[in-house]
Amino acid sequence: MAAEEENDVVELEESITKEKTTKKKKISISKTQDDLMVFLAGIKGISEVMKKRLHKVLGSQGITDPRGIKTHTLKQLMELPGVSENTAKLLLEEVESNQGKLFLSLDEREQIEVKRKKIMTGSLELDELIGGGIPTGTFVELYGSPQSGKTQICYTISANCLLPKEFGGLEAGVIWLDTEGSFNTQRLKQIISYYEYTHGIKNVKTNRFMVANTRTLAQVELALKEAGSIIPKNRVKLMIIDSLMDPFRAEYGGLGELAVRQKHLNKLLHMLMRLAEAYDIAVVYTNQVMANPDPFATAMDKVMPTGGFILGHASDIRIWLRRATSKIRNQHDAPNARRALITDCGWLPQNECHFSLGPFGVCDVDQEANHIKLAGELGVLFESVSEGEETEAKTEFATLD
Ligand SMILES: Nc1ncnc2c1ncn2[C@@H]1O[C@H](COP(=O)(O)OP(=O)(O)OP(=O)(O)O)[C@@H](O)[C@H]1O
Ligand SMILES: [Mg+2]
């Protein structure tokens, strides 16, 4: 081959390789075009350079989805590096206009509420009490004395949220903030195994479950920030905080600090509200009880949940959990029967129901004996968790495995 021809071939080969790499590059750019990039591209009034910078800055805050912008206030957005008031306003306006109309008719609003998914509790009676399960987009407070069943409800709704849709689950992710260090991996796996066994499900996708050890308020806030990127990735529909007030009680003591504590609680609840609204998540938190200082309190008000009015206003459904009376326990052969009373809800009456805590989590009272029998038969499969055995969750989010 002549030298000239040889040069041409080399040039051609080079140009083909160049074209290939450019094509490759183009493909890889379009592949990385996430929802946030597409969203930013559609905003008028922000330069292209600024959009690229915004993508990076928002990403560093765990915002990988336009809905994540809604979890920030105008002030919080303005605190991000290089984000002016005008840019922050444009971002929020665009996010709101993407969500559709601000005002809705009664029928339109009803359509949204009907579409809300419901998480089953494991007990048909308890589901019925709260209108068919725990609806996404709501704040549910479970309060009661130790062993009243708060954490067991959290385990069972977590398992039900992970279950495939054809088995009544949401096939969605769960985020669990463990503020008391009491989360037990084996207990959740035991309940999941029960559903796998009874429904014949091969594998429940447990990798959508994430737990973080958040013993301090700083860790809770950090976890909520990190949750912003986990929620869209794992399609999270349930967030559990067990328990909400524990870190507040540990970090703020005495009446002198009450006002500051309540201000802090309010701030945290608003962070949660923005997450719940932006991603349509059910937020379920447990709470302890304290003696009511009011000397004229009725029998029903003798104990009250901690957290004061701030928490009371935030909770959409407040449920008081107690041990069932001996009459109910004997009548149903259910020594572990519990009572659940709705003490405050804007759309549900103050009704009560009974449920049980069995080897497979929450169940109906008439099922407790059956569950114990089944657990005995399948003893090896559902090896009981020895008392006090705890699996520490990591400070950062960790999967079940
Ligand atoms: N493996 C199991 N098999 C059967 N029942 C269990 C099992 N594990 C827990 N329970 C039941 O759950 C009860 C504890 O309930 P739970 O953990 O929900 O308490 P809690 O309300 O969260 O209390 P605390 O305020 O101490 O956290 C036990 O007393 C027992 O009745
Ligand atoms: Mg508990």
Q: Are residues 55 and 161 in the same domain?
A: no
User: Which pLDDT belongs to residue 66?
Assistant: 87
Ligand 1, atom nearest to 155 Cα: 18
Determine contact, residues 211/200, Cβ cutoff 8 Å: no
CA of 188 to the centre of ligand 1 (A): 12
Residue where a domain terminates, one of 77, 98, 119: 98
Q: Are residues 58 and 32 in the same domain?
A: yes
HSE (CB half, 13 Å, CA atoms) of 252? Answer: 16
Q: Are residues 279 and 379 in the same domain?
A: yes
Q: Is residue 260 in some structural domain?
A: yes
Q: Is residue 171 in some structural domain?
A: yes
Residues of the chain with pLDDT under 50: 1-32, 380, 382-391
How far apart are the C-alpha atoms of 159 and 268, rounded to whole Å?
26
Q: Are residues 332 and 388 in the same domain?
A: yes
Q: pLDDT (tens digit, 9 = 90+) per residue, 165-221? A: 999 999 999 999 999 999 999 999 999 999 999 989 987 899 999 999 999 999 999
Ligand 1, atom nearest to 144 Cα: 21
| Total structural domains within the chain | 2
Determine contact, residues 187/155, Cβ cutoff 8 Å: yes
Q: Is residue 269 in some structural domain?
A: yes
User: Which pLDDT belongs to residue 149?
Assistant: 98
Does the CB atom of residue 133 touch ligand 1 within 6 A? no
Q: Is residue 211 in some structural domain?
A: yes
**What radius of gyration do the chain's Cα atoms show?**
26
Give the domain CATH number at 171. 3.40.50.300
Q: Is residue 311 in some structural domain?
A: yes
User: Which pLDDT belongs to residue 379?
Assistant: 75
Does the CB atom of residue 179 touch ligand 1 within 6 A? no
Does the CB atom of residue 384 touch ligand 1 within 6 A? yes
CA of 346 to the centre of ligand 1 (A): 29
Q: Is residue 103 in some structural domain?
A: no
Q: Are residues 41 and 187 in the same domain?
A: no
Ligand 1, atom nearest to 147 Cα: 19
Q: Is residue 104 in some structural domain?
A: no
Residue type, 241: I
DSSP string, 130-194: TTSSEETT-EEEEEESTTSSHHHHHHHHHHHHHS-GGGT----EEEEEESSS---HHHHHHHHHH
CA of 282 to the centre of ligand 1 (A): 22
Ligand 1, atom nearest to 384 Cα: 1
Between the CA of residue 373 and those of 121, 367, 382, what are the distances in Å?
21, 10, 12
Determine contact, residues 183/211, Cβ cutoff 8 Å: yes
Q: Are residues 77 and 184 in the same domain?
A: no
pTM of the model: 0.85
Torsion of CA 159, 165, 168, 171, to 10 degrees: 20
Determine contact, residues 276/285, Cβ cutoff 8 Å: no
Q: Locate 303 and state its tokens.
A: 């104990």
CA of 37 to the centre of ligand 2 (A): 41
Q: Are residues 248 and 136 in the same domain?
A: yes
Q: Are residues 132 and 264 in the same domain?
A: yes
How far apart are the C-alpha atoms of 191 and 363, rounded to whole Å?
11
CA of 152 to the centre of ligand 1 (A): 6
Q: Is 299 exposed, middle or buried (0-12, 13-18, 19+ CB in 10 A)?
A: exposed
Q: Are residues 46 and 134 in the same domain?
A: no
Q: pLDDT (tens digit, 9 = 90+) per residue, 67-110? A: 889 888 899 999 999 899 999 999 998 888 877 777 889 998 89
Q: Are residues 289 and 386 in the same domain?
A: yes
User: Which pLDDT belongs to residue 297?
Assistant: 82
Q: Are residues 356 and 207 in the same domain?
A: yes
Does the CB atom of residue 68 touch ligand 1 within 6 A? no
Q: Is residue 105 in some structural domain?
A: no
Does the CB atom of residue 67 touch ligand 1 within 6 A? no
For a ligand 1 pocket test, name from 188, 306, 356, 357 the mutation site with the most ligand atoms within 8 angstroms of its C-beta. Answer: 357
Determine contact, residues 271/226, Cβ cutoff 8 Å: no
Residue where a domain terminates, one of 69, 98, 127: 98
- Angle value at C-alpha 146, between 145 and 147, nearest 5 degrees: 115
User: Which pLDDT belongs to residue 394?
Assistant: 53
CA of 374 to the centre of ligand 1 (A): 19
DSSP string, 283-312: EEEEE-EEE---TT--GGGSEEESSHHHHH
* Domain span at 54: 3-98
Q: Are residues 327 and 234 in the same domain?
A: yes
Take atom 19 of ligand 1 and give the residue whose Cα is closest: 147
CA of 212 to the centre of ligand 1 (A): 20
CA 274, 280, 286, 292 dihedral sign is positive
Does the CB atom of residue 361 touch ligand 1 within 6 A? no
Residues forming a β-bridge with 303: 291
Take atom 2 of ligand 1 and give the residue whose Cα is closest: 359
Residue where a domain terminates, one of 66, 98, 130: 98
